[in-house]
Amino acid sequence: GLPYGALRVGCAVVAALLVGAAVARICHPAQTLRRELRSSLTASRRRSTRTPLLGAVVLAAVLGAGVAAALTWKVTGEVLPSGAADTSASAMRAALPLLVGAAVAVLLVLVFRRQLDAERGRFAERFGAASAQLGDAEAATRIAGVFALAAAADESPTFARRQQCIDVLCGYLRLPYDPEFGANHLAELVSTTTWTATAPATNIEESRRQAIRQNDGEVRQTVVRVLAARLRRDADASWAGNDFDFTGVLFEDASFAGAVFRGRRVRFDGATFRGEATSFEGAAFDADRVSFDGARFVTPATTFAGARFRAGHVSFEGAVLEGVDVSFEDTRFTGEDVSFRKVAFAGDRTSFARAKFKCLQAAFDAPVMWRAVTFDWEKPETPGGSPQTIPRCIGPRPWPPTLSEDQLVEKKGVRKSMEAARG
């Protein structure tokens, strides 16, 4: 058989490999949780559990020596051979497996940490290059930057780095944008103002130059498509657990059909949806907080049909729902608080047919406009519904909500803003 000493050293090396791998795993940022976990685990994914290097080394050394001793005892029946402590040389030979185990475990941890640092450096380079492309004057280069940033997010093993890429893409959408110049090749807009003066003074001419991002409409559409694709259930690399801030964004023909939002917060506050259609059909809003406060839906067709709102707080407060057809049909509200307060239901038809309200509270108080809004509990014989058919969580009572004089005044302002939003 193998020499006794070689057997013990072999046990030590095996133990060190096991311990090194375990410690490396422990020291890895806690971003390996599956994306299917609910938002209760999202917070733990956001907190980096990166152990300080000194602590990781000490932990590896202690565990490496301990596991080496245990494995040696399991194989040979003893940690130290009989009589090993008689001389210093014998003691050193007996302790050699423990030292080897500790050293190999420490080496593995150091190698792993160096790999993490190298990955961090590579991400910084990719992130910087993609961001630079996104700020280029050429539309084609900006589109390439969108895909480069998305690829960096897809391949990032950590939540924070992926969120960093998403924040840049959402930030691009929040930049000032004029649809009038979004589909042309203009690079600069020059306006000249002439100030007339009386003789003997001469006229003063003032020129202002405004840089324009060429064909920015297509770049923005690309950003929206990239985001929507990674929010769908069948996405290869899911971003569903991240946060999204679309505050004030102007969307054109936006489609988030089948999207899943599971992060802490999703914001569409003050966003404007224009074009031919807006779709959130079959979307799942499972984030902690979802808000469309002050959003304006001015497309002919807007649909949330089949959507599921399980967020703790859902708010459409102050939103404007306009167009030929607005659909919340088959939508399920199962979270805690749902607010449609001060909403302008201005569409030709707004349907909540077969919608399920199983939340703690759903408020439709103080609407600015209430036009052609239909619910299942409202029948021709009972236009306002009956207490037996209206879900308990629905407010206000009595139903339906009525417009006060303040809302009637606000209604006129909403009509003007809707005309402006249509462009």
Per-residue pLDDT at 277 exceeds 70: yes
Q: Which of 29-33, 207-211, 263-267 has the highest average model confidence (pLDDT)?
A: 263-267
CB 386 within 8 A of CB 378: no
CB 344 within 8 A of CB 320: yes
**CB contact burial 323-358 (16+ within 10 A = b; e otherwise):** beebbbbbbbbebebbbbbbbbbbbeebbbeebebe
Q: How confident is the model at residue 37 (pLDDT cuts 50, 70, 90)?
A: very low
CA–CA separation, 280 vs 200, rounded Å?
65
Residue with tokens 């088959």: 330
CA–CA separation, 142 vs 139, rounded Å?
5
Strand order from edge to edge, sheet including 250-252: 250-252, 272-274, 296-297, 320-321, 344-345, 369-370
Residue with tokens 């006229």: 203
Q: Which helix (H) or strand (E) holds 370?
A: strand 369-370
Q: Residues 245-263: what's their mean pLDDT?
A: 97
Phi-psi map region of 258: left, alpha, beta (phi>0 left; psi -120 to 50 alpha) = left
Q: What is the pLDDT of residues 200-246, one digit of tens each?
A: 666 676 666 656 677 899 999 999 999 999 999 999 999 999 999 99
The count of other CB atoms within 10 Å of the CB of residue 269 is 18
pLDDT at 234: 92
CB 215 within 8 A of CB 184: yes
- Rounded percentage of the chain residues whose pLDDT exceeds 70: 59
pTM of the model: 0.71
402 Cβ neighbours under 8 A, 6+ residues apart: 370
pLDDT at 56: 52
CA end-to-end distance (rounded Å), the chain: 88
Q: What is the pLDDT of residues 72-104, one digit of tens each?
A: 555 555 555 555 445 555 555 555 555 555 566
Q: What is the pLDDT of residues 160-205, one digit of tens each?
A: 999 999 999 999 999 999 888 766 655 555 567 776 766 666 667 6
Q: What is the pLDDT of residues 368-422, one digit of tens each?
A: 999 999 999 887 655 565 666 899 999 999 898 988 655 555 555 555 665 565 5
The count of other CB atoms within 10 Å of the CB of residue 321 is 25
pLDDT at 178: 85
The count of other CB atoms within 10 Å of the CB of residue 44 is 13
CB 372 within 8 A of CB 323: no
CB 12 within 8 A of CB 48: no
Question: Residue 364 in 3-state DSSP?
Answer: coil
Q: How confident is the model at residue 121 (pLDDT cuts 50, 70, 90)?
A: confident
Q: Residues 274-302: what's their mean pLDDT?
A: 97
pLDDT at 96: 55
Task: Report the sign of the C-alpha dihedral through residues 58, 64, 66, 67, in that order.
Answer: positive
CA–CA separation, 97 vs 104, rounded Å?
11
Q: Taking all residues of the chain, what is their mean pLDDT, rounded to a whole number?
A: 78
CA–CA separation, 30 vs 46, rounded Å?
8
CA–CA separation, 212 vs 179, rounded Å?
11
Which residues are paired to 194 by β-bridges?
205
CA–CA separation, 362 vs 143, rounded Å?
41
